[in-house]
Amino acid sequence: MEKSKSTKKTRLINPIVKEMLPFIFALIVYQLSITIAYNQSLYESVYATGINKWLVELISILTGMVRISVGELVLYAHVILVPVLSILLLIKLFRGGFFKMLLKMAQYLCVLYILFMVLWGFNYSRQSVSNVLGFEVETYSKEVLYSMTQNLIEDANQLRNAQAEDDRGVMELVGGYKRVFSRARSGYDVIGQSVKSLNGYYARPKPILASDPMLYTGITGVYFPFTGEANVNIAIPDLLLPATTLHEMAHQRGIAPEDEANFLAFVVGRLHPDIDFQYSSTVLALIHAMNALHAQDPELAMALRATYSEAINRDLAAYGQFWKAYEGKTNEVADRVNDTYLKSNRQEEGIRSYGKMVDLLLGYYANGGF
């Protein structure tokens, strides 16, 4: 009789444990994400540049066999599922099975969280790209910021002379986004020779199918970690399309924070053999540097602004005019969502963390980077 009771208890416990497994593993993964910050060297050598890198490369190669963005299709499928599941939950509330379905949904969300962290989320706690490139980020004076910005202007003016133009005299990419995507990897091939963690084979970037509607959100690119795809909004102006492409490819290589992906896009763009990539990445850095200088000393910034070539002025004016048409509530909501997402991944300053790119630029510049 005692044996029978024991068997019944075991049969009862096993299903409960099975149902709780997703929640248990999610808690373990969450705890791991906290401890990584205290074991960065071990994480970097074993996981970031090993297991995770190989796994993402494999997924990227598989999804790369499909021309369109698999991640975008998965996202749309989930958006459609939300109202469908809401209706089903409402039905089950009256007909029975509500809590069972709610449990299954919670389990599914736990599985998504685990996959997200394993494939991508842990990278928010890895060492800075400055460590990877071998320089330290320090506090630099306004004079150093001025000098760096002046240097960027001189380079941008020179690089702009070799750019193709449209009938408005604005920078134009020959061959459009397709040629940008096909050539983008060359920059990473160059840096990969000296920085092995940035080397490797990944599928080329993909165009976002809903690029035009996405302009209203202000989103220029999306990295989808579940499919290892670097997705780029191809409707944005040509000026920053190469730099944006390199930015999303930086995410693909495990560089999670936005400021670090921006910075790496600049470094890789400058090393790229093609001059349109060099110009685009230099303008990206110049915009950030000039904004930082203007916050410190508006008069000094305006004095430097006067040294822009007429061609660069045309490019920036066209770029600003383009985005004015897409300002509004949708953009504001997208900013808030992005801000929440960044903060949830320990980028405490949210979207303001984009400004940290200037600190990386200054450290790189002070160490003879450009």
Whole-prediction pTM value? Answer: 0.88
Angle at 328 between CA 323 and CA 333, to 5 degrees: 110
pLDDT of residue 8: 54
Angle at 171 between CA 229 and CA 366, to 5 degrees: 70
In this structure, are residues 52 and 59 in contact, taking their beta carbons and an 8 Å threshold?
Answer: no
What phi-psi label fits residue 138: left (phi over 0), alpha (psi between -120 and 50 degrees) or beta?
beta
- Rounded-to-integer distance, Cα 37 and Cα 352, Å: 21
Q: Which of 140-154, 284-298, 342-356 has the lowest mean pLDDT?
A: 342-356
What is the secondary structure of 23-76 as a DSSP string? HHHHHHHHHHHHHHTT-HHHIIIIIIIIIHHHHHHHHHHHHTTSSS-HHHHHHH
Reference 127, options 237, 6, 221, 256; nearest CA is 256
**What pLDDT band is residue 351 in, cutting at 50, 70 and 90?**
very low
Asked if the model's pLDDT at residue 312 lies above 70, the reply is yes
**What pLDDT band is residue 48 in, cutting at 50, 70 and 90?**
confident
**What pLDDT band is residue 330 in, cutting at 50, 70 and 90?**
very low
For residue 274, give the DSSP letter.
S
- Rounded-to-integer distance, Cα 341 and Cα 350, Å: 8
Asked if the model's pLDDT at residue 341 lies above 50, the reply is no
Count Cβ neighbours within 10 Å for each residue of 145-183 and write b for 16 or more, e otherwise.
bbebbebbbebbbebbeebeeeeeebbbbeeebeebbeb
Mean pLDDT, to the nearest integer, of 104-113? 96
Mean pLDDT, to the nearest integer, of 234-257? 96
- Rounded-to-integer distance, Cα 275 and Cα 280, Å: 9
Mean pLDDT, to the nearest integer, of 95-103? 91
- Rounded-to-integer distance, Cα 103 and Cα 88, Å: 14
In this structure, are residues 239 and 216 in contact, taking their beta carbons and an 8 Å threshold?
Answer: no
φ, ψ for residue 165, nearest 5 deg = -130, 155
Mean pLDDT, to the nearest integer, of 260-285? 97
**What pLDDT band is residue 22 in, cutting at 50, 70 and 90?**
very high
pLDDT single digits (tens) 159-185: 999 999 999 999 999 999 999 999 999
Asked if the model's pLDDT at residue 87 lies above 90, the reply is yes
φ, ψ for residue 250, nearest 5 deg = -65, -40
**What pLDDT band is residue 355 in, cutting at 50, 70 and 90?**
low
Higher pLDDT, residue 352 or 258: 258
Strand (E) or helix (H) holding 222: strand 221-224
**Kind of pairing between the strands at 229-232 and 221-224:** antiparallel
**What pLDDT band is residue 336 in, cutting at 50, 70 and 90?**
very low
Cα 242 versus chain centre, distance: 14
For residue 273, give the DSSP letter.
S
pLDDT single digits (tens) 178-225: 999 999 999 999 999 999 889 889 999 999 999 999 999 889 999 999
Asked if the model's pLDDT at residue 345 lies above 70, the reply is no
Residues whose CB is less than 8 angstroms from the CB of residue 169 and which lie 6 or more positions away in sequence, other chains included: 311, 314
Taking the CA atoms of residue 325, residue 327, residue 329 and residue 334 in that order, the dihedral angle to the nearest 10 degrees is: 120
